[in-house]
Structure 1
């Protein structure tokens, strides 16, 4: 990450602060702050995860929040996060054997 330094004169600083205050009200109206998970929503989310065994991605879509928020909630509540996907195991190796010839008998008995 590259650091940069911005130098502003003291006379211009007041003007910059006033402009930022004007834009602050517009930013709040255009981009409302996303509410955090309420206790009721969090309790329902935990119940669905533990009882219905839903994936975290599915819960994030249902409750309109990010996966990191859900993981943070589970860590706070001391809930173990486990994947629901079955791990793909390698298939058992098949050993091919040749048929042994019978000893002592001729190949064709007529």
Structure 2
């Protein structure tokens, strides 16, 4: 049996998917289903990784798959609260940058444009 849990909660305009335990091959299908359900029901999804102790390529694949599904729906999926080895894996693979939390809307409203990096 997999050591993995997921649940969701709504915070204003964001659906938060809280993951806990080990995101690996054994939990891949459950994780992917939870993330795809979330992006199917909300344009803005935050994935809270505070409770994740282990993340392998299966977990990375689930995150990227859900990210692409969100983009197809003109939505966004991003990760928050990654720490320790989970944060390191996300950094090394470039996924932490890909799935970074967007700048607050009020920041772009003040300048009239989104932050453009060159």
TM norm. shorter chain > 0.5: no
Q: When you count helix as a share of all residues, which structure comes out higher?
A: 1
Q: When you count strand as a share of all residues, which structure comes out higher?
A: 2
Higher relative CO (CA 8 A, sep ≥ 6), structure 1 or 2? 2
TM-score (norm. length: structure 2):
0.29
State which structure, 1 or 2, has the greater radius of gyration over its C-alpha atoms.
1
